[in-house]
Structures are given as C-alpha cells and as structure tokens.
A and B are shown apart, each in its own frame.
Chain A
Amino acid sequence: MSHVLLLEPNTILAATYQAAFTAHGFTAVAVSGAQNGIHAIDARQPDVIVLELQLPSHNGVEFLHELRSYPEWHDIPVVVHTSLTPVQTESYVSILHDALGVRAVLYKHGTSLAELVNAVKAQLAMV
C-alpha cells in the first residue's frame, strides 16, 4: 500500500484529501507545516509528497530545499498542489522542476480530487 504525505495547512481540506487517497487504497498522513513534514518523513518515508507552497512559518520552497538536502530523501516524488495560481508560480516553476525535483505543479482550486489522485498515481508509476 503506497503512502502519501500531505503538507496542507487547512486541516479541513487536508482531511478531505486524506479521505480521497484512502478511498483509492493509499495510506495518507496530513501535517500542517514544514517542520512537522520533516518529522513525518523521519517517522515513515512516504512514497509521494503532496505539498502546498503556502505554509505557515516556513514556505514550501524552504521545505523542498531542506528535503533535498538529505540524500536518502532526494528521490521522493513531490507533487506541488498549491493555492498559488499558475501565473504566480510561473517565475519559479523551472526551479521547482529542475533544482528541487518537483514532478508536477497543480493549482489547488482548479484541481479535482480525481485529478490529484491521478497525479499521485502517475508519480508512483514513474518510480
């Protein structure tokens, strides 16, 4: 059973995404911030990380820099699922892809649960 880690500051949305992944046979854990995200990966390495860039205290890009600084976590697939619009992420989407190993960037308010689950499944198929 594949394991998904969700970094989502809105706890209601996090529970909704968690339920969707569970319905599709995944195990999913949700945390609200970057620090808890690192602790959660330490506790159980996920097969895929779904990341909101707008996190409290440390933003998602800072989290990605820390994540990729650990060699053993270097290849964990990351799907960015963010409230930032494609226009807002346009300027640094190449950094996300090239330097930080992000496989997909989804606009949260325009992405259905089915599309999110499919994006995660696609990452797992690529591993």
Chain B
Amino acid sequence: MPTGAGDVLAAVAEQLKVPLTVIARQAELAHMAGRTQAADPLLVQTQADAALQLVDSYLLGLQLLREQTQLQLEPVSVPSTIVDIAHTLTRFAKQYNVDIEVDITGRYQPVMAHARGLRAALLSLGYGLVEAQAAIEDQRRRRLRLAMHRTPGGIVTGMYGTYNTICAAQWRTALQLCGRAAQPFGTLAPGSGAGLFVADTILRCMDSRLHVGHHARQRGLAAMLHPSRQMQLV
C-alpha cells in the first residue's frame, strides 16, 4: 500500500528533529562551563548535510509523484550508483561507528530508472539504515552492506545488516503506520524511519518498491529494478 505524501512529510519532520538536536546540543556543549573544546565541525556539517539530503529527497519524491506519467527514465548503471552512495555515506556512517561495505560481483546491465530518483532513494535508505544499525545492541562490529544480485524478475539492489528480526509483515505494517506512529518500524529503526519511507515513495514512482530482502545471510531492505512499463511500450 503506497504511503501518502502527508504521512511521509510527518515522518520527515519528526526525523529532522534528530540532526537539529545534535547540532543544537553540540553548540551548547562547546560553551558549557568546564569545557574549552569547540563543537565538532565535521559532525555538525555531516548532520546538517544528512538533514538537507532528506528534505531534498522528500521534495524530489513529491515532484516525481506529480510527474509520474512523464518520468524521464534513462539507462542507469546501478553498480556505479552504489559505489557513489557508499562513498557519500561513509563519513556519516563513521560518526555512528558503522562500516560501509560494497558487495557487487559480476557484470550488470544498466536499468531504466530516473537517475536522480534512484540516487536519492538509495541515499535516503542508507542514512536511515546507518542510524538503525548503530542502535542495534550487542554488536562488536556494525556493518551496512550495499549489494546487488540478479533474480529472474530483475536486479535486486539493497542494503543489509544485522536486522535478523525484521520480516515482510512488519514492513507492511510500518508502511501503514508511517507518520502516525512514533516508531512505525520499531524492530529496525528507533525513530520515525523517514529515510526508508522517502526511499519507498521515490522507488514506487519508478515501478519499484522497497521490500524486506536478504543477501549473503544478512537481512535488510531492497528494491527490484526492472525495465519500466514505458520502455516495454517502446
């Protein structure tokens, strides 16, 4: 069931409180009595960048929803998109002590997708899952694996980690609770999970959607990328 843009907006607004609180408290910490250390500029910058990315991705999702019938699809190389996303996520992930790994083996044909949309969706998903991975208890090493593999239905691109308890039913429920519950996907993400819902909204505009998947004995969220309906008509 597609999530309404208003519900996603509520989740985004809730999510934005986190980086804003980090920035505000970092600034306060720098001026606190007994401390002479300045606020960590890299931490502040990364948190602000993540917040801006979430807003941009939400707005892009909204724009794509409105323009769905004339979506500009083009051949997109998923491996290079994944490598680019991994590079962008690394600085953010490092602050949460999460390692980003890329697992792409073999050669893959380009998929027909909206290049900006695909990048925004995967980036939003990545930011959301890094925070989720960081909150998981009892882990010595926190890792988020960006991976892809072929299936008869298309190319599955996803992000996987130590999310052993998540299942498809929980994700379906989370989509219904988006923007209405404090923790719609509580078994995965401790907050509003806005990044996941923004990613799903964008992917749905490209005839795809997020689903619970697994790769190399790890669970996570993934999307099936396949030729679009427009291309089949051509």
Binding site for B on A (CB under 8 A): 9-13, 16-17, 19-20, 23-25, 31-33, 35-36, 54-57, 59, 83-84, 88, 108-109, 112-114
Starting from the known contacts A10-B22, A32-B134, 17 additional A-B residue pairs (CB-CB under 8 Å) come to A9-B134, A10-B131, A10-B190, A11-B97, A12-B96, A20-B25, A23-B29, A23-B35, A24-B34, A31-B137, A32-B135, A54-B191, A59-B183, A59-B186, A113-B25, A113-B28, A114-B32
Interface residues of B in 27-47 (CB under 8 A from A): 28-29, 32-35, 43, 47
A12–B42 Cα distance when bound, in Å, is 12
A112–B17 Cα distance when bound, in Å, is 14
A109–B135 Cα distance when bound, in Å, is 18
CB distance from B93 to the nearest CB of A (A): 11
Interface residues of B in 187-233 (CB under 8 A from A): 187, 189-191
Known: A33-B137, A35-B138. A113 touches B190 (CB 8 A): no
A52–B2 Cα distance when bound, in Å, is 31
Q: Smallest CB-CB separation from A89: which chain B residue?
A: B182
Q: Smallest CB-CB separation from A37: which chain B residue?
A: B137
In the assembled complex, which residues on chain A have CB atoms less than 8 Å from the CB atom of B132? 56
Known: A33-B135, A54-B182. A108 touches B21 (CB 8 A): yes
B18 at interface (Cβ–Cβ under 8 A)?
A: yes
Which one of B25, B97, B138 lies within 8 Å of A13 (CB-CB)?
B25
Which one of B28, B34, B43 lies within 8 Å of A12 (CB-CB)?
B43
In the assembled complex, which residues on chain B have CB atoms less than 8 Å from the CB atom of A57? 137, 165, 186-187
Known: A54-B190, A114-B32. A11 touches B137 (CB 8 A): no
B18–A10 CB distance below 8 A: yes
In the assembled complex, which residues on chain A have CB atoms less than 8 Å from the CB atom of B170? none
A11–B41 Cα distance when bound, in Å, is 17
B182–A88 CB distance below 8 A: yes
In the assembled complex, which residues on chain B have CB atoms less than 8 Å from the CB atom of A10? 18, 22, 131, 134-135, 190
A9–B28 CB distance below 8 A: no
In the assembled complex, which residues on chain B have CB atoms less than 8 Å from the CB atom of A55? 190
Which one of A9, A13, A83, A84 lies within 8 Å of B22 (CB-CB)?
A13
B135–A19 CB distance below 8 A: no
Which one of B25, B134, B182, B183 lies within 8 Å of A11 (CB-CB)?
B134
In the assembled complex, which residues on chain B have CB atoms less than 8 Å from the CB atom of A114? 28, 32
A28–B47 Cα distance when bound, in Å, is 24
CB distance from B133 to the nearest CB of A (A): 10
In the assembled complex, which residues on chain A have CB atoms less than 8 Å from the CB atom of B183? 54, 59
Known: A12-B95, A16-B22. A113 touches B135 (CB 8 A): no
Q: Smallest CB-CB separation from B189: which chain A residue?
A: A56
A12–B22 CB distance below 8 A: yes
Known: A12-B95, A13-B21, A114-B28. A83 touches B182 (CB 8 A): yes
B136 at interface (Cβ–Cβ under 8 A)?
A: yes
7 chain-A/chain-B pairs, Cβ below 8 angstroms: A13-B25, A25-B34, A56-B135, A56-B136, A83-B17, A84-B182, A113-B29
In the assembled complex, which residues on chain B have CB atoms less than 8 Å from the CB atom of A19? 29, 35
Interface residues of B in 89-127 (CB under 8 A from A): 95-97
In the assembled complex, which residues on chain B have CB atoms less than 8 Å from the CB atom of A23? 29, 32-35
